[in-house]
């Protein structure tokens, strides 16, 4: 039993590390797509949507293949929908925490950090235990 717990702990550490790295990669792709499409079309809404969509798609692919190493036979479309739902809820939680904390402590940066942590925690746990569970 102890060996299984130790193995799970090691796997969790690896997954958290890979989750952080994949998040940085997805954010970089988001930013690159956003800037590229803004440069070409000069439309900030279009550029934002394309950038966010590109980052979300890359995040999904990296989560499935690298972070959680999911080899299930679930439909990709269904999996991507659930992934988007998890990340939508994480974004909603993040926004609500930012609003609430900023009213409480009047520091938008600290509020953002707490909100981002809760959003990322939601995304990791939701992906691990709801979508890519083994």
pLDDT tens digits, residue range 50-106?
999 999 999 999 999 999 999 999 999 999 999 999 999 999 999 999 999 999 999
Task: Please report, rounded to a whole number, the percentage of residues in the chain having pLDDT higher than 90.
Answer: 88
Domain boundaries, the chain: 1-69, 74-134
Q: Please, what is the average pLDDT of the chain? A: 93
Whether the full predicted model's pTM is greater than 0.85, yes or no, is yes
* Strand (E) or helix (H) holding 25: helix 2-41
- For residue 38, with 0-12 CB atoms within 10 Å meaning exposed, 13-18 middle and 19 or more buried, which class applies? middle
Which residues have C-beta within 8 Å of that of residue 19, sequence separation ≥ 6?
Answer: 63, 67, 120, 124, 127
E-strand ranges in 6-57 read none
User: For residues 13-35, b (16+ Cβ closer than 10 Å) or e, as one string?
Assistant: eebeebbeebbeebeebbeebbe
pLDDT tens digits, residue range 104-133?
999 999 999 999 999 999 999 999 999 998
pLDDT tens digits, residue range 44-63?
999 999 999 999 999 999 99
């Amino acid at each position: 039993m102890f060996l299984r717990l130790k193995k799970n702990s090691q796997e969790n550490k690896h997954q958290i590390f890979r989750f952080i790295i994949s998040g940085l990669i997805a954010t970089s792709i988001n930013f690159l797509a956003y800037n590229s499409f803004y440069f070409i079309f000069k439309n900030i809404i279009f550029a934002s949507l394309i950038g966010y969509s590109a980052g979300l798609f890359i995040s999904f692919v990296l989560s499935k293949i690298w972070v959680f190493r999911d080899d299930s036979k679930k439909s990709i479309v269904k999996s991507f929908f659930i992934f988007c739902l998890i990340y939508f809820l994480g974004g909603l939680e993040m926004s609500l925490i930012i609003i609430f904390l900023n009213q409480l402590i009047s520091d938008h940066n600290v509020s953002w950090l707490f909100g981002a942590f809760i959003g990322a925690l939601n995304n990791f746990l939701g992906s691990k235990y709801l979508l890519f569970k083994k």
